[in-house]
Chain A
Amino acid sequence: MSAPAANATGAAQETALAVSHLNITFGSGAAAMTAVDDVSFTLGHGEAFGLIGESGCGKSTILRALVGLNRDYEGTIRFRDTVVPRQRDKNFFRRVQMVFQDPYASLHPRKMVQYVLAEPLRIHGFDRHQERIDEILSAVGLGPSFRYRFPHELSGGQRQRVAIARALIIEPELLLLDEPTSALDVSVQAEILNLLKQLRRARDLTYLMVSHDLAVVTHLCERVGMMSEGRIIEEMSAEDVRAGRAAEPYTREFLEASTGYRPAS
Chain B
Amino acid sequence: MAKPLLEVEDLFVSFRGAHRTTQAVRGISFNVGREKVGIVGESGSGKSLTGRTVLKLTPKAAHIDAKRLSFDGIDLLAASERQMRSIRGNRISMILQDPKFSLNPLMRVGQQITEAYRLHHKVGRREAEARALAMLEAVKIRDPDRVYQLFPHEVSGGMGQRIMIAMMLIPEPDLIIADEPTSALDVTVRRQVLTILDELVTRRGAGLMFISHDLNLVADFCDRVLVMYAGRIMEDIAARDLRNARHPYTRALLDSLPRLDRATDMLQVPSRDPAWLDGPTIRSGVAT
Interface of A toward B, CB cutoff 8 Å: 54-55, 156, 185-187, 189-191, 193-194, 197-198, 212, 214-216, 218-219, 238-239, 241-242, 253-254, 257-264
Contact = CB atoms under 8 A, between A and B. Distances in A.
B220 A260 contact: yes
Interface of B: 42-43, 157, 186-192, 194-195, 198, 213, 215-217, 219-221, 252-253, 256-270
B253 A261 contact: no
Nearest to B184: A55
B188 A187 contact: no
Contacts of A262: 191, 220
Contacts of B258: 189-190, 193, 215-216, 218-219
Contact of A238 (B253, B263, B269): B263
A257 B260 CA distance: 12
A260 B259 CA distance: 11
Nearest to B256: A190
Residue from A55, A185, A186, A214 with most neighbouring chain B CB atoms (10 Å): A186
A253 B190 CA distance: 12
Given A194-B266, A257-B191, A260-B217, A187 B42 contact: yes
Contacts of B256: 186-187, 189-190
Contacts of B268: 190
Contact of A194 (B216, B260, B269): B269
B191 A261 contact: yes
A187 B259 CA distance: 14
Contacts of A185: 42-43, 213
A259 B282 CA distance: 27
A215 B258 CA distance: 6
Nearest to B215: A186
Contacts of A190: 256-258, 267-270
B260 A264 contact: no
The 8 A-B residue pairs with the shortest CB-CB distance, nearest first, are: A219-B258, A54-B186, A261-B220, A190-B256, A190-B267, A185-B42, A257-B187, A260-B220
Nearest to A255: B260
A30 to B, nearest CB: 18
B219 A191 contact: no
A263 B260 contact: no
B178 to A, nearest CB: 13
Nearest to A191: B269
B210 to A, nearest CB: 11
Contacts of B259: 215, 219
Given A219-B258, A260-B219, A261-B221, A187 B187 contact: no
A244 to B, nearest CB: 9
Contact of A261 (B43, B217, B266): B217
Residue from B43, B187, B215, B252 with most neighbouring chain A CB atoms (10 Å): B187
Nearest to B182: A261
Contacts of A239: 263
Given A185-B43, A216-B258, A253 B263 contact: no
B269 A259 contact: no
Given A194-B266, A197-B266, A212-B187, 7 more contacts: A194-B269, A212-B186, A216-B258, A219-B264, A257-B190, A260-B220, A262-B220
A262 to B, nearest CB: 7
Contact of B253 (A186, A197, A214): A186
B191 A187 contact: no
A264 B195 contact: yes
Contact of B260 (A54, A189, A197, A242): A242
A186 B267 CA distance: 11
A258 B192 contact: no
Residue from B192, B259, B260 with most neighbouring chain A CB atoms (10 Å): B260
A254 B187 contact: yes
A55 B261 CA distance: 24
Contacts of B43: 156, 185
Given A260-B216, A263-B198, A254 B188 contact: yes
Contacts of A257: 187-188, 190-191
A174 B252 CA distance: 32
B253 A187 contact: yes
B92 to A, nearest CB: 24
B266 A259 contact: no
Contacts of A197: 265-266
A50 to B, nearest CB: 12
